[in-house]
């Protein structure tokens, strides 16, 4: 990763990739500051969160089944600036942006563009994947994707930890119907989405049993889990013992063989919500388990407009404070992504442009 300083008012520093590959394909470059089109605005990036999806998109791993390298939503265009989680300040408004008060506002960007106007429309593009994202000094987005968070008690770095991980987790909780007094099991609880699910479930008044590596137990308990089940032991028995009447919801980022084995952990009408497959994507089970007990296996990708609005409310109230494991300067994005891939941290890794 080369290091190029910003060279003037019309240039900015950005981490660019020209092809799929390992972290070595990330190049810090001086590029033209993007200008807003109609109904768009420019945000000066204060902080940009890192996510596993950045790594998988960079690697083109979403296309692996088809033998073609691709992002989640299809082939990527290059050059591309990644980074879907952005908190920053609005510095320029394009023509047609109705709310001129946005200029100067602190905003959290919705990483998603949608395929229709509804509150439950599907994700059609993602910041940093189908369009340039926040691993840069400036980013241009449609104005509707900028949500004001001036009054949030959270820092810029904390806010930038929220969109993808906490949005995905909140989407899972919504689709799984997690509510007060429920028993919730979270697998992969020390990861970005897992830890978010622990915190957000706790904030909803659920009792949370979390599965993670034993060396991360203290951090996951600190984030609000009621019980931690070590990943390396007999997870099934320990998880069953921790909720003798069964779980209302399992929030699963792990999948693999555990999904089939674990369905018996659910109580009647329980929901198994899955949004990742760290242990493998091949799952198998006896479908009688599902229908004789009215169970549901729910897949969940990211969030919807409805869910993101709820997340912005949480952000403004500061009702959940995301754990931040480390902050890296933009010029060290490559190191940040290498650290992310080791999975040794608990909490989010966030990138900050050192001068803006």
Would you tell me which residues interact with a copy of itself (CB under 8 A)? 62, 65, 72, 120, 122, 175, 255, 259, 268-269, 274-277, 281-301
Tell the smallest beta-carbon distance from residue 136 to a copy of itself (Å).
Answer: 27
Tell the smallest beta-carbon distance from residue 267 to a copy of itself (Å).
Answer: 10
DSSP string, 130-147: TB--SSBSEEEEEGGGEE
Joined together, the tokens standing for residue 293 give 């007990």
State which residue, 150 or 286, has the beta carbon closest to a copy of itself. Answer: 286
Joined together, the tokens standing for residue 346 give 């608990």
State which residue, 83 or 171, has the beta carbon closest to a copy of itself. Answer: 171
State which residue, 217 or 273, has the beta carbon closest to a copy of itself. Answer: 273
Residue 21, phi then psi, degrees to nearest 5 = 160, -170
Cα distance between residue 137 and residue 183, in whole Å: 43
CA 320 centroid distance within chain = 15
State which residue, 101 or 294, has the beta carbon closest to a copy of itself. Answer: 294
State which residue, 25 or 70, has the beta carbon closest to a copy of itself. Answer: 70
State which residue, 92 or 309, has the beta carbon closest to a copy of itself. Answer: 309
Tell the smallest beta-carbon distance from residue 164 to a copy of itself (Å).
Answer: 14
What are the distances in angstroms from CA 272 to CA 62, 168, 345? Answer: 23, 15, 26
From 47, 51, 25, 35, select the one nearest 343 (Cα to Cα). 51
Angle between helices 52-59 and 333-342 (to 10 degrees): 100
State which residue, 35 or 268, has the beta carbon closest to a copy of itself. Answer: 268
Neighbouring C-alpha atoms within 13 Å toward the C-beta of 139: 35
Cα distance between residue 241 and residue 256, in whole Å: 22
Tell the smallest beta-carbon distance from residue 301 to a copy of itself (Å).
Answer: 5
> How many other CB atoms are found less than 10 A from the CB of residue 213?
17
Tell the smallest beta-carbon distance from residue 252 to a copy of itself (Å).
Answer: 9
Tell the smallest beta-carbon distance from residue 122 to a copy of itself (Å).
Answer: 5
- Contact (Cβ atoms closer than 8 angstroms) between residue 91 and residue 33: no
Tell the smallest beta-carbon distance from residue 113 to a copy of itself (Å).
Answer: 15
Cα distance between residue 264 and residue 259, in whole Å: 10
Tell the smallest beta-carbon distance from residue 79 to a copy of itself (Å).
Answer: 25
Contacts of 45 (CB under 8 A, 6+ apart): 83, 86, 87, 88, 134, 136, 137, 138, 139, 353, 356
State which residue, 285 or 335, has the beta carbon closest to a copy of itself. Answer: 285
């Amino acid at each position: 990763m080369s290091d190029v300083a910003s060279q003037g008012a019309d240039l900015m520093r950005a981490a660019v990739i020209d092809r799929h590959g390992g972290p070595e394909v990330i190049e810090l470059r001086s590029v033209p500051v993007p200008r807003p089109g109609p109904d768009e605005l420019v945000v000066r990036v204060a902080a940009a969160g890192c996510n596993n999806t950045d790594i998988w998109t960079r690697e083109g791993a979403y296309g692996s089944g088809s033998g073609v390298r691709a992002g989640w939503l299809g082939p990527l265009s290059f050059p591309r600036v990644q980074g879907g989680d952005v908190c920053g300040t609005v510095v320029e408004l394009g023509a047609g942006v109705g709310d001129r008060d946005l200029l100067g506002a602190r905003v959290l960007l919705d990483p998603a563009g949608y395929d229709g106007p509804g509150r439950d429309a599907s994700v059609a593009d993602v910041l940093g994947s189908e369009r340039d994202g926040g691993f840069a000094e400036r980013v241009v987005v449609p104005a509707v994707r900028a949500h004001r968070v001036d009054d949030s008690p959270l820092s810029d770095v904390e806010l930038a930890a929220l969109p993808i991980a906490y949005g995905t987790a909140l989407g899972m909780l919504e689709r799984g119907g997690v509510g007060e007094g429920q028993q919730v099991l979270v697998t992969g609880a020390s990861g970005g989405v897992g830890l978010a699910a622990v915190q957000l479930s706790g904030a909803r008044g659920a009792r949370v049993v979390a599965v993670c590596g034993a060396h991360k137990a203290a951090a996951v308990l600190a984030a609000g889990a009621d019980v931690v089940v070590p990943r390396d032991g007999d997870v099934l028995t320990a998880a069953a013992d921790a909720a003798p009447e069964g779980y209302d919801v399992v929030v699963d980022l792990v999948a693999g063989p555990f999904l089939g084995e674990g369905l018996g952990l659910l109580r009647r009408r329980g929901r198994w919500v899955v949004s990742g497959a760290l242990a493998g994507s091949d799952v198998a089970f006896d479908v009688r388990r599902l229908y004789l007990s009215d169970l549901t296996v729910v897949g969940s990708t990211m969030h919807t407009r409805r869910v993101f609005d709820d997340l912005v409310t949480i952000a403004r109230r500061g009702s959940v404070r995301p754990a931040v494991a480390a902050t890296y300067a933009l010029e060290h994005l490559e190191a940040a992504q290498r650290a992310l891939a080791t999975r040794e941290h608990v909490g989010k890794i966030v990138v900050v442009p050192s001068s803006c």
